A and B are shown apart, each in its own frame.
Chain A
Amino acid sequence: MTIFVKDLISKKSGKASSDLLTRPVGKKYYQSAEKKISSAMKGEVVILDFSDIKVIDPSFADEFVINIVKLSHSKDFYVRLRNLTKSAQSNISAIIDSYTDFAKKDYAVAVEDLLDNGTHFLGNIGLQEKEIAEFLRINKTASTKAISDNFSFTESKTANCLKTLEKLRIVRTDETGKYFSVL
């Protein structure tokens, strides 16, 4: 499912704004997105497409992005962001880091664009986990053994990293034990 964020709220008059600002506006967008997401299937990847959006301020990001990421944990779907400007990347990254500190639980989100941190993920992810997530992004799918062999990690270490990534909802697994990237 792809949600074009700029189309979530219809503008009665004129052009929609290229800037997503303030908490009240973030709440409205979240409510609208939540309705759409309610029809998503279990395990589906929900793409939030920010085309034509320039600024996402921290208050909007808190109400919109953080709440959707939290919802993905409780409703069992995956989130992928697309078409983020540099400013939007920085603001969302700052919010995820702050929320992680506050909640004392790690949060992360996958982004289609190559980010300033050299990866495709925002949030608190360890170095080895990042490498594995990038490997899966490129290869789309792999088994624990294939990943262990590629990085020369032990299988138990690889399995732990994959569990962490699965918890963060950055990778998915199926009944055969194979892992898939959400990107």
Chain B
Amino acid sequence: MSSNYEFLPTIKHKIMQSDTISPDTLNDVYSFENIISLEQTLYASGNAKIDLSKIKFINPYCAVNLLLLGKNYLKKTGSKISLINLTPDISSYLERMDFIKKNIFSIESSESKKLSRSGMSKSIIEITDIPGKERESVKAITNVVALFRKRAEFIFKSSFSENNTDNFITVISEMCQNIFEHSLDSGYVALQTYKTAKGPVVHLVVADSGIGIEGSFVRMNKNCGKGSDLLVKALTTPISSKREFGYGLCRVNKIVEQMNGNLYLRSNSDSVAAMNSPKNGRMFFSKSNLPFFQGTQISFFIMGTNS
């Protein structure tokens, strides 16, 4: 079942100066849409800034995509975006997720309280590079999966099971492989557990700033549809830009569905959200003509772990 959805009620983020974005929230895919819609303002001068003074929480989708945005800016202009007015908590979080280590941004923050890597760190997978080259990428995927296996008990807590762990590993592996197989770019993977109003979640993100899903099909002269229709097709049918057929996204969606999880897939200017409905089964909410954001970003989360 597929339908359109409206998810951008208002542009909440304010432009303080011509080259500064000041987001109010960075806690879901929709809040990052607002950043994307203002991305061009960062290119107005050579002194781009993102003011994080109002940010109290960043989810991994926003953290990883912020990195992609900064990486693209650095590639295009040769200079770094400044992240300013980070609270100590946000600064510590970004440090703990290895965001700062990537050296993509200039960071101006008040002093950060150092979070210890023991204990808390076992329930996350730090932002990890997935290189665009096959050999290095396979090595990176192997390392991420090994780390995930080691931490799975802390990540899933009471919902830990061998089967959940194995299913998640299939998802991580298949999603990361798409980066070196199709995107013509490198990317990132990260995982975080946190509490929401509906309960605790395990949230996995895999993202790249490559040619996008449609771009990959166009490049191989394959016609399997366009825009968000192509994204829905990729989630529901074994299609591939590279081979006669493929399983990656389709299998991932099936596993996420079995785990009663939600999936959000964004590629260039299109997106699709997939979730289970008790009445209608798996539902797909697609959106086209979004502000352009280069590459493919996938966010996947399951509810129900207890802290």
Contact = CB atoms under 8 A, between A and B. Distances in A.
A133 interface: no
A21 B169 contact: yes
Contacts of A95: 247
**Most A C-beta atoms less than 10 A away, residue of B146, B149, B251:** B251
Given A87-B163, A98-B238, A102-B238, A58 B146 contact: no
A102 B244 contact: yes
Nearest to A94: B251
A2 interface: no
A145 interface: no
Contacts, number: 77
A124 B170 CA distance: 23
B177 A23 contact: yes
Given A19-B149, A22-B177, A87 B170 contact: yes
A101 B244 CA distance: 11
Interface residues of B, number: 28
Contacts of B141: 21-22
Given A91-B251, A94-B247, A21 B166 contact: no
A59 interface: yes
Interface in B224-276: 238, 244-245, 247-248, 250-251, 254-255
Contact of B247 (A18, A59, A87): A59
B247 A55 contact: no
B142 to A, nearest CB: 7
B162 interface: yes
Contact of B238 (A18, A23, A57, A101): A101
A154 to B, nearest CB: 38
Interface in A51-86: 54-55, 57-59, 62, 85-86
A24 B180 CA distance: 11
B245 A86 contact: no
A25 to B, nearest CB: 6
A24 B165 CA distance: 23
B79 interface: no
B245 A98 contact: yes
A17 B162 contact: no
Interface of A: 17-19, 21-25, 54-55, 57-59, 62, 85-88, 90-91, 94-95, 98-99, 101-102
23 contacts: A17-B142, A19-B169, A19-B173, A21-B138, A21-B145, A22-B141, A22-B177, A24-B134, A54-B162, A54-B169, A55-B166, A58-B251, A59-B173, A87-B169, A88-B166, A91-B251, A94-B247, A94-B251, A94-B254, A98-B245, A98-B250, A101-B238, A102-B244
Given A21-B138, A86-B163, A91-B170, 6 more contacts: A19-B145, A23-B181, A57-B173, A58-B251, A85-B163, A87-B166
